[in-house]
DNA sequence: GAGCGTAGTGTCAGTCGCTGACAATTGACA
DNA sequence: TGTCAATTGTCAGCGACTGACACTACGCTC
């Protein structure tokens, strides 16, 4: 299982991710070449592309991990909960575990800075949005399964996930632009934005909150 | 105003768009090179990049036009309407005008096929999502203006637009995969999906619609 | 422990998207 | 008609990415 070969591979992959993150954060995404990343880990460019199918993938690796983490948490949730409530509560529950999972690969502070790079680099943001869309589709299937609804005929799972994800993206963007990008802030921002979903859709907006 | 120079420029730009659409639709986006597009219009590759900053832009040109069209329609809407209702009604109103605007540039049938290409090509889908995000931000500002709310402190404009746009994207995707991609179907699909926004968010989903 | 098969890597050559620089052309306007 | 400025083509070059091939070294068998 843990042959020398396996461990070596894991190590160079992690090293590539960390090196790429550091370069992206300090120089910017576009200004960093794949050659620089490969050189920092002392492998050839060709090897880089054997680990990651493109430059975006190494930048979004951790993000994708977090997404998968959330998805698995939903899967593991007890059934019977109303779907929106399930999404909301699960999200609220896993922050600390997410941090732990991230730190097995990249220092958390580096990940936070990387989030800002993703939001500000056009190419990276585009790729991120597409990855999110793929994850949304998986969430749709899971929500449909849990509620015993057929997503091919009933639009509610897709509509719910689309609305939820849209709000989460807005919250993430808002959060990434604060001075204080701590876990605690992330938790409250997402909570607040989700709480606004109902009020925002109602016909009349009385002034003030 | 309409000098020979202007008209010539307009013509090559339109020719590039049409040629690109035809190539993308028949060969696929990735399989089409910029050289092919330029050659089809008998200009140099360099000239192509003077009209469009990258390959995605020519593919998304019409989509962006439609987005801008919707935005302008919102701007022109009478004030006082509840925000969600304004988005919904405006969308419902402009379908025919959109078709007319599109057909000034590209045959509508070609545009419809192009929509499917966008949904199925990863690179193009990613770029499309990013463009949509930019348009969402403009919508946020406009909704905030109309309701007299400050989007920097009140999250409701962003939340509303995010939810609305998310649902529209899902509807568009669903529509583009139908056999019948007519305007009439588009109108009903978007209407139905938007109508599901409320029910999808409520705590309990009774079986069946 | 020698030797064999194969997974992982480096090198090289080539394609494609995209850009800057410079020269040539051509419409606009006096 | 002649000058100015906008448009275009050509060329050279960078960076992302890929296929092909040869080489190294891990892992497993005998």
For residue B1, the model assigns a pLDDT of: 55
CATH class of A59-201: mainly alpha
CA of A130 and C1' of D3: distance in angstroms? Answer: 53
Flag if B170 and A159 touch (Cβ within 8 Å): yes
Residues 6 or more apart whose CB falls under 8 angstroms from that of A42 comprise none
Is residue A138 within a helix (H) or strand (E), and if so which, with residue range? helix A122-147
Distance, in Å, from the CA atom of B69 to the CA atom of B63, rounded to the nearest integer, reads: 10
> In the prediction, which pLDDT does A39 show?
96
Strand D-proximal residues, CB under 7 Å?
A: A 3-6, 8, 32-35, 45-46, 49, 53-56; B 5, 8-9, 12, 42-47, 50-51
**Chain B contact for A30, CB < 8 A?**
no
Q: Please provide the CATH number assigned to the domain covering B60-201.
A: 1.10.357.10
Residue intervals in chain A for CATH 1.10.357.10: 59-201
Q: Where in chain B is the domain with CATH 1.10.357.10?
A: 60-201
B109 touches chain A (CB under 8 A): no
Range(s) within chain A of domains with CATH label 1.10.10.60: 1-52
pLDDT at res. B205: 82
Q: Give the Cα separation of B99 and B69 in Å (integer).
A: 11
Question: A167–B163: do the CB atoms touch at under 8 Å?
Answer: yes
- pLDDT at position A42, please? 96
The pLDDT score that the predictor gives to residue A6 is 87
Kindly report, residue by residue over B72-112, the tens digit of the pLDDT: 999 999 988 999 999 999 999 999 999 999 999 999 999 99
| B169 in reach of chain A (CB within 8 A) | yes
3-class secondary structure, B14: helix
Query: What residue ranges of chain A have pLDDT lower than 70?
Result: 1, 4, 206-209
Chain C, protein-covered positions (CB within 7 A): 7-12, 16-21, 27-29
Task: Specify the long-range contacts of residues A173-177, CB closer than 8 Å, at least 24 apart.
Answer: A173/A119, A174/B155, A174/B158, A176/A115, A176/A116, A176/A119, A177/A116, A177/A119
Distance from CA(B4) to C1'(D5), angstroms, rounded: 15
Cβ-Cβ contacts under 8 Å for A124 (sequence gap 6 or more):
A29, A56, A59, A60, A117, A118
Residue A1: what pLDDT? 55
Can you list the residues of chain B whose pLDDT is less than 50?
Answer: 208-209
**pLDDT value, residue B207:** 52
| Best CATH choice for the domain A1-52 from the list 3.40.50.720, 1.10.10.60, 1.10.580.10, 3.40.50.920 | 1.10.10.60
Q: Looking at residue A19, what is its pLDDT?
A: 98
pLDDT of residue B209: 44
């Amino acid at each position: 299982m843990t042959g020398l070969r396996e461990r070596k591979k894991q190590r160079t992959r992690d090293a590539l991710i960390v090196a790429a993150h550091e370069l992206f954060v300090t120089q910017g995404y576009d200004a960093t070449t794949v050659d620089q990343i490969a050189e920092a880990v002392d492998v050839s460019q060709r090897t880089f592309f054997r680990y990651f199918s493109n430059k975006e993938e190494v930048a979004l690796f951790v993000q994708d991990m977090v997404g998968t983490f959330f998805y698995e948490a939903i899967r593991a949730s007890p059934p019977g909960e109303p779907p929106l409530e399930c999404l909301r509560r699960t999200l609220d529950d896993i922050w600390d575990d997410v941090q732990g999972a991230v730190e097995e690969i990249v220092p958390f502070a580096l990940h936070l800075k990387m989030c800002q790079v993703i939001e500000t680099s056009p190419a990276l943001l585009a790729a991120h949005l597409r990855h999110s869309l793929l994850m949304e589709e998986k969430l749709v299937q899971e929500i449909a399964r849990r509620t015993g609804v057929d997503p091919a005929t009933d639009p509610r799972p897709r509509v719910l996930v689309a609305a939820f994800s849209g709000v989460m993206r807005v919250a993430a963007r808002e959060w990434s632009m604060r001075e204080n990008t701590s876990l605690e802030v992330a938790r409250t921002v997402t909570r607040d934005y989700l709480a606004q979903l109902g009020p925002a859709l109602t016909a009349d907006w009385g002034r003030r909150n």
